[in-house]
A and B are shown apart, each in its own frame.
Chain A
């Protein structure tokens, strides 16, 4: 009984407030908006999902998912060596400094950091100016002229959104990977070497598989945070919508709660598929 009391507050919170609102949200997606009256028709229907599957909306979903995937890959590539260094090689003091450096950005407002990227990436921003000083403007122009990832300026292009996303979610990737690598006992690395494995082989066959749950945990953050975010593309001024912006627009100005709700189902479905795939490739085997 007393042990159950420990669970009660979080159960109430997660069970009622969280799961309840989630259920309400998902049920909204099975209603539809009457185009003439602008009222929500509370009769179960798949009409809203049909609307979700129009090319423009599918475009938004694909763009967001691809962005989330690329941001996740970039964060893994950046975070893994850093986390590995912090866990294995950094002496205590350097490790404290590096941990602080990873965490420090989280102390400032997320909006401030995103706005800062606007200042860096804008046409008149720091980066363009720097490239101009270096005589690399033609290179930037050629980059921005590329189809799909290009745009009028770095800030408005998908490249800009990619850079800002990769930056803001990086700490969420570094910390779980670092924790996972630190948890690998020294004796396991010794055992691998003892059995004849060269250091590279030990890394591939022991360290990497055991660090994978950390990578999976980090990627759940980076992936889901990108899928639902509307601040980064909004602040940078991207003209093509991401899922978060579509939800914001549909539930706000357009008042189309059912479609907004249907849009939120996409990240959930994508995450579910992602987690199943991660489990299939054995990302959680070492847990």
Chain B
């Protein structure tokens, strides 16, 4: 491909419902063939963005382009884009086979080819042999796979996934994450995945956009977004961060500009212990201890700032050890280069 044309391009897109600005000036480019996640809390406008890309909704202002061509006025049935719905939206009166075949039937694909492609699609989602059943006879996870097969069978260039794993339990969700990723890599088409689960977004996507209140907070690779959050919102929504600002920031970093530190970067030292060179140190007292199995979360109150959250692996400590730490004075230390400046500190 000579000129890199984005698969999906939103340019200053707005979608207002009365006074509510569900999408409030979103600009983003999704590259052809990438796994892109739209991450945000509920009400952040991520699903509305998806509906604008699918064509179920039209922008109040701004441009939507698919593969370089304006798409604002194309109805969904004229877009090379298919959707896996949050509630799967399988047709209850049709069998699984008829559901998967729906897009082919509508396009008048000959019967023999239709049957072959339906079988292939069910094979792809590892659900062969259920074609004759009704959706109601399947489990939630199976229905999700059928919805995926139904969207993929028409060979879209972009697949939109609207929180497809939200209704599944943890084990199944993790398994489907891996499978979705494998399917995407195998087909090489663009996936746009809407989710409120930051772990899911980090685990699956090549790049992600973090949305908040209808605006893009940051776009980048998972590593960029996690390690260099552009705003205080991103720092707190993607993982947990300690926001340091005001006098404490000045004392630690020499400038009142707010910065964040990830909890796993901080070490708990004995009170008064000497910290390695190049570290920030703060003295405090352990206020709360949450034992999480492989690691422990400590909440440490410090003078002159909000309490710090610290995450430590339980390599040698037992649950009894960590519980006994409650109330103990400690010194927090972390490398100075773990500090991340934030723009929009609250």
Bound CA span A191–B85, Å? 8
Which residues of B are found within 8 Å of A195, using beta-carbon distances? 77, 82, 102-103, 106, 150-151, 154
Partner of A282, one of B54, B81, B83, B93: B93
Distance (Å) between the CB of B51 and the closest chain A CB?
8
Please tell me if the beta carbons of A193 and B93 are within 8 angstroms of each other in the complex: no
Within 8 A of A (CB), among B43-85: 54-56, 75-77, 81-83, 85
Judged by a CB distance under 8 angstroms, whether A88 is at the interface is no
Which residues of A are found within 8 Å of B150, using beta-carbon distances? 191, 195
Bound CA span A176–B244, Å? 60
Distance (Å) between the CB of A199 and the closest chain B CB?
9
Judged by a CB distance under 8 angstroms, whether A53 is at the interface is no
Distance (Å) between the CB of B292 and the closest chain A CB?
37
Interface SS majority for chain A: helix
> What is the 8 Å Cβ interface bit string for chain A, positions 190-203, against chain B (1 contact, 0 not)?
11111111100100
> What is the 8 Å Cβ interface bit string for chain A, positions 175-199, against chain B (1 contact, 0 not)?
0000000000101101111111110
Please tell me if the beta carbons of A206 and B91 are within 8 angstroms of each other in the complex: yes
Distance (Å) between the CB of B106 and the closest chain A CB?
5
Bound CA span A117–B30, Å? 66
Which residues of A are found within 8 Å of B154, using beta-carbon distances? 195-196
Distance (Å) between the CB of B183 and the closest chain A CB?
18
Bound CA span A95–B197, Å? 39
Given the known inter-chain contacts A185-B89, A210-B93, please indicate yes or no for A191 contacting B107, CB distance below 8 A: no
Which residues of A are found within 8 Å of B76, using beta-carbon distances? 190, 193-194
Please tell me if the beta carbons of B106 and A194 are within 8 angstroms of each other in the complex: no
Partner of B83, one of A194, A198, A285: A194
Which residues of A are found within 8 Å of B91, using beta-carbon distances? 188, 191-192, 205-206, 210
Judged by a CB distance under 8 angstroms, whether B92 is at the interface is yes
Partner of B77, one of A187, A193, A210, A285: A193
Judged by a CB distance under 8 angstroms, whether A286 is at the interface is yes
Partner of B93, one of A187, A194, A209: A209
Given the known inter-chain contacts A195-B82, A195-B102, A195-B154, please indicate yes or no for A187 contacting B92, CB distance below 8 A: no
Bound CA span A263–B123, Å? 58
Which residues of A are found within 8 Å of B93, using beta-carbon distances? 209-210, 282, 285-286
Bound CA span A269–B150, Å? 43
Distance (Å) between the CB of A188 and the closest chain B CB?
5
Judged by a CB distance under 8 angstroms, whether B32 is at the interface is no
Please tell me if the beta carbons of A188 and B89 are within 8 angstroms of each other in the complex: yes
Bound CA span A198–B76, Å? 9
In the complex, 20 of the A-B residue pairs with CB atoms within 8 angstroms, ordered by the A residue number, are A187-B87, A188-B89, A188-B91, A190-B56, A191-B85, A192-B91, A192-B106, A193-B56, A193-B76, A194-B76, A194-B83, A194-B151, A195-B154, A196-B106, A197-B77, A201-B106, A205-B102, A205-B106, A206-B91, A210-B91
Additional pairs, 20, CB under 8 Å, beyond known A196-B103, A197-B106: A185-B87, A187-B85, A187-B86, A188-B91, A190-B89, A191-B85, A191-B89, A192-B102, A193-B77, A194-B76, A194-B82, A194-B83, A195-B77, A195-B103, A195-B154, A196-B106, A205-B102, A209-B93, A285-B93, A286-B93
- A: residues with CB less than 8 A from B are 185, 187-188, 190-198, 201, 205-206, 209-210, 282, 285-286
Q: Which 10 A-B pairs have the closest CB atoms?
A: A195-B103, A187-B89, A191-B89, A193-B76, A286-B93, A209-B93, A196-B106, A197-B106, A187-B85, A285-B93
- B: residues with CB less than 8 A from A are 54-56, 75-77, 81-83, 85-87, 89, 91-93, 102-103, 106-107, 150-151, 154
